[in-house]
Structure 1
Amino acid sequence: MEIKAPDLGVDSAEVSEIMVQVGDVIEKDDNIILIESDKASVEVPSSAAGKVTNINVEVGDQVSEGTVLIELDSDSSADEEQAPAAEEQSAAPQDESQEAKSADEQDKQTESESQQSKPAAAEAGQATTHALPDLGVDEAQVAEIMVSVGDTISADQSILLIESDKASVEVPAPEAGKVEKILVEAGDMVTNGQDFIVIVGDGGAETDTSETKTTDSQAQDSSKDNEKQSQAADAGKPKQQQTESQSAQTQSKPQQRKLTEAQVNEKLTDVYAGPAVRKLARQLGIDITQVNGSALNDRILKEDLFAHVKDKLSTQKAAAASGNVVSSGLPSLPDMSNAEIWGETETQDLSRLQKVSIPQLNYNTYLPQVTQFDVADITDTEKLRGELKGGMKAEGIGLTILAFIVKATAHALTQHPRFNSHLSDDNTQIILRKTVNMGIAVATDDGLIVPVIKDVQDKGIKQIAIEIGELATKARDKKLGTKDLQGASFTISSQGNLGGTAFTPLVNWPQVGILGASEATMQPRWNADKQTFEPRLMLPLSLSYDHRVINGADAAVFTRYIASLLADPRRILL
């Protein structure tokens, strides 16, 4: 039986640790592999029980959904447990063998009675306590409970809204049935595997539960009978032989070699960093255990590696000059408790979203960023939008100028693929994206968040408008999932009607460009054909780009091309 990687929430992740060995006998849901992405470290549980016959991955391998991790022999576990019992029965006296036969007959009778009672149990239904799935983070907060005690729910129905520093995720119902008890409350901090709900399953589910419990009961009774037979067989032996027999039984049991959860957590605490950070540390020759992490739970980021190198260089330079050690970085804030100097102050906590965005924003310190400004004449496009928005509004679709900007930019990216790329870690190559996944900056009460519209190059303006509305609503309601926030190749930040003539948006690393759109205003423009000024609706554009990948001339051509598409969207059809 092959055990495959489930949906990891990312395209691929690195195998950080293998927690089982060939020959281990494991149970269902035992952790077998520890994988690590740039976002988090996740333990992958086994979807079945059995004996590990083969391990198909190694530490450092990149795995994705569907990758075969290990292979199991699901029958070997039962065979190993029955083998010692068979040997002990053959060694027991004849009367013990007869007692064993009598016990077998009683087991068969018990099994027959339990099978007859299954329909009744299935009809009555049993309450089952369910645990939270892997959340992708160490802990998260219960933002909303979406069902009540007594509700009848279906399998995979959303019942809980969990909010972490990264995103909000809806937890689906593990089975269909009736909610008997809810074990958490809104505001509680929960962790992976924590019990959160009790559900009385439907008839089909209860049949399975009854069968499972009957099988477990039989297995326990059989184990007890085997133990009694073994003790009876040892009773007539000298004490030394009894000791040897018990020692042999102990050695015959498979040894548990996988790491415990506490050991895994201890390892994560020692060095908490993603594969990309570990790779960069190896390239820089840094001992990553000596680096202090600045992110949540002391996670080490790339900027921490750069700061570590800067600190070492500064220390060595200062030591060579004067023999004294000088700390690097900004100094601490002055003491502002003196109101006569600083006046009255007040301390306010940042939101979790703001805290988690700070390390990402700090990457701009290492980017040679430049901004190109231009304006687009959208008079005719706005007229077209006015003609279409009434019909779309009747369908429940809000058609804004942003949908036109997204489509025009996506088309421009297909014509200028260098803006839809990433710079490799060793700065020797660029990775060109063949699809356009557009990030759309959305302002919420907690801060700025950037959901992603996938495959924009294949979608029309109407479909783009629909998805913009859906993502904006989910963002403001804190219902965006992890996949809604991943995979962007370019970003658009629109300030709408907030005012301003231009601004400098920050490139969202590892992307190489971002387009800002300010408020459109009526301005006088010279008409050469009519030899007169006329009012035109002008949209300011601000393109920030990574100068390591994009040249200034290319940025000017790209921005002008977007402006021409916005002036006449029919160009996209050519």
Structure 2
Amino acid sequence: MARHTIKMPDVGEGITEAEIVEWTVAVGDFVKEDDILAAVMTDKATVEIPSPVTGTISALNGDLGAMTPVGSVIIELEVDGDGNSVDVEEAAADVPVPENPSVVEDSKPSVRDADPKEPLQAAAMEAMTPVAAPLPTRVVVPSAPRAVGEKPLASPSVRRRAMDAGVRLAYVAGSGPAGRITHSDLDAYLDGGNAVTPQLSVAIDPIKTGVEEWKVIGLRRKIAERMQDAKSRIPHITYVEEVDVSELEKLRKHMNDADKAGQVKLTILPFVMRAMVLAAREVPKISAHFDDEQNVVKQYEAVHIGMATQTDSGLMVPVVHHAEARGVRALAEEISRLAGIARDGSITREELTGSTITLSSLGAMGGIVSTPVINSPEVAIVGVNKIAVRPVYLDGAFVPRQIMNLSSSFDHRIIDGWDAAVFIQKIKSLLEHPALLFVE
């Protein structure tokens, strides 16, 4: 037997280190050529590392969340025949090796099945990541969930299929490396029809003392860093206003009823985006970036609207570029497209960058008021709260109306309270008189 080592790849120009965000194998696992061994993340990309050889994992060097220098040995394998003639102890000296290397299972999905031309799969990895041959399917259909605390490993596409089918992945056995659940495993489970029916019980739970601990790594770590930086550097002012969207909801319903088959259904978001574009004409410095290190504001003629989108991998902000050049229907189509590719992991880096102002909405979960955090270096974010029927005093009587609050935050270094109020009041006027959205 010989040794074969795998180093942290150079995943982009200027990148000197990467974060280990997932081990998909454990020490002692037998792997085939092209099996995925790990996922690493930089500021620019998430990259999966395939095995270039067939062999047995002998060491995993580095903990989840560890920042590891490019060129350091991160994986060692025992292989038949000749290894890659690298002295393991010397090559691994750059990285502290745990006394007992082991896999820390993590439920965060890696970016799989992405479009090979998009930057989230780094160009440096394309040549070493051919399409893997399917592994032999091991059909196992358990009748009970996994052990308490054991988290199933699966790609985003498998998780999406399971969610759509109403299947808890904790009940599905995985045949991939480290018990990873494949599409074949999910097919076998569904074919078996062994759905677990919850049992009703009136028993009182015993006192619980368990504590689950998990490390903040990968995309969640990036989100945390950006939010902390934004709140520590930007003096936020939040302005809340209620909007009567009764007429807008009537118009939206009428337009959806009149749509042809196959057209994207209109939500309230494209109307709000259109109102933001028109309101930005009155307060143009709303669509801007502030470089607080150079003390320079870049005010854009274009309005590129980022839309906060929750995905299985965490919060992403796809960007509707040149919203000023799109009508309501075109905005709806672009919103639907971007949300879809963000959730299936095929979105490109260009589609996640370049926003000049952000729109945040939690839909029906939006609550009454929120305090959205500005997406630095932008200077404003518009937050949409849920629509609720409330009594409103009109023409001498209380009548039921559909009311929605806008909770929006502004960088008080650049946007004065007056400017914030003018911007939001313009949006309010446009949404309460929706015909104005279609008049230039």
TM-score bucket (shorter structure): 0.5 to 0.7
Query: Deviation of residue 551 (structure 1)?
Result: 0.8
Q: Distance in 2 between matches of 1:351 and 1:510?
A: 23
Return the match for 1:459 from 326, 330, 355. Answer: 326
Q: Distance in 2 between matches of 1:472 and 1:559?
A: 25
Q: How does 1:302-341 map to 2 (within 5 A)?
A: none
1:364-420 per-residue CA deviation (whole Å, 9 max, x = no partner) reads: 211111100001111111100010112336233121011111111122113211111
Q: Distance in 1 between matches of 2:45 and 2:238?
A: 39
Return the match for 2:313 from 436, 446, 454. Answer: 446
Q: Distance in 1 between matches of 2:116 and 2:397?
A: 62
Identity of matched residues, %: 29
Return the match for 1:195 from 124, 128, 133. Answer: 128
Q: Distance in 2 between matches of 1:379 and 1:487?
A: 33
Q: Quick check: 1:422 aligned with 2:289?
A: yes
Whether the 8 Å contact between 1:351 and 1:446 is mirrored in structure 2 is: no
Partner of 2:142: none
Shift in alpha-carbon separation, 1:473–1:393, aligned structure 2, 3 A? farther
Partner of 1:538: 403
Q: Quick check: 1:358 aligned with 2:221?
A: no
Whether the 8 Å contact between 2:360 and 2:384 is mirrored in structure 1 is: yes
Q: Distance in 1 between matches of 2:366 and 2:232?
A: 27
Whether the 8 Å contact between 2:45 and 2:122 is mirrored in structure 1 is: no
1:196-240 per-residue CA deviation (whole Å, 9 max, x = no partner) reads: 349xxxxxxxxxxxxxxxxxxxxxxxxxxxxxxxxxxxxxxxxxx
Partner of 1:171: 116
Partner of 2:183: none
Partner of 1:348: 214
Partner of 1:486: 353
Whether the 8 Å contact between 1:166 and 1:482 is mirrored in structure 2 is: no
Q: Distance in 2 between matches of 1:559 and 1:415?
A: 11
- In structure 2, what residue type is equivalent to 1:171? P
SS at match of 1:383: helix
Whether the 8 Å contact between 1:518 and 1:541 is mirrored in structure 2 is: yes
What is the alpha-carbon root mean square deviation over aligned residues? Answer: 3.4
Q: Distance in 2 between matches of 1:520 and 1:394?
A: 27
Q: Distance in 2 between matches of 1:192 and 1:368?
A: 41
- In structure 2, what residue type is equivalent to 1:561? K
Q: Distance in 2 between matches of 1:368 and 1:167?
A: 38
Shift in alpha-carbon separation, 1:142–1:523, aligned structure 2, 3 A? farther
Query: Deviation of residue 453 (structure 1)?
Result: 0.5
TM-score using structure 1 length: 0.43
May I ask how many residue pairs the two structures share in their alignment?
A: 269
Q: Distance in 1 between matches of 2:49 and 2:389?
A: 48
Query: Deviation of residue 141 (structure 1)?
Result: 1.7
Query: Deviation of residue 424 (structure 1)?
Result: 3.2
- In structure 1, what residue type is equivalent to 2:433? D
Whether the 8 Å contact between 1:138 and 1:191 is mirrored in structure 2 is: no
- In structure 2, what residue type is equivalent to 1:394? A
Partner of 1:307: none
Return the match for 1:571 from 421, 436, 439. Answer: 436
TM-score using structure 2 length: 0.55
Q: How does 1:127-526 map to 2 (within 5 A)?
A: 140-141=47-48, 169-172=114-117, 192=125, 194-197=127-130, 343-350=209-216, 352-363=218-229, 364-392=231-259, 394-426=261-293, 428-526=295-393
1:326-379 per-residue CA deviation (whole Å, 9 max, x = no partner) reads: xxxxxxxxxxxxxxxx95322224462212222211212111111000011111
Gapped runs of 5+ residues in structure 1?
1-33, 43-134, 144-162, 174-187, 199-341
Q: Distance in 1 between matches of 2:211 and 2:306?
A: 37
Query: Deviation of residue 487 (structure 1)?
Result: 0.2
Shift in alpha-carbon separation, 1:436–1:345, aligned structure 2, 3 A? same
Q: Considering only CA atoms, is the larger Rg found in Structure 1 or Structure 2?
A: 1
- In structure 1, what residue type is equivalent to 2:210? E
- In structure 2, what residue type is equivalent to 1:421? A
Shift in alpha-carbon separation, 1:564–1:352, aligned structure 2, 3 A? same
1:104-159 per-residue CA deviation (whole Å, 9 max, x = no partner) reads: xxxxxxxxxxxxxxxxxxxxxxxxxxxxxxx995860279xxxxxxxxxxxxxxxx
1:168-218 per-residue CA deviation (whole Å, 9 max, x = no partner) reads: 852159xxxxxxxxxxxxxx99954643349xxxxxxxxxxxxxxxxxxxx
1:251-299 per-residue CA deviation (whole Å, 9 max, x = no partner) reads: xxxxxxxxxxxxxxxxxxxxxxxxxxxxxxxxxxxxxxxxxxxxxxxxx
Q: Distance in 2 between matches of 1:168 and 1:412?
A: 40
- In structure 2, what residue type is equivalent to 1:195? M
Whether the 8 Å contact between 1:517 and 1:542 is mirrored in structure 2 is: yes
Please state which structure has a larger fraction of its residues in helix: 1
- In structure 1, what residue type is equivalent to 2:218? R
Whether the 8 Å contact between 2:46 and 2:110 is mirrored in structure 1 is: no
Q: Distance in 2 between matches of 1:346 and 1:384?
A: 48
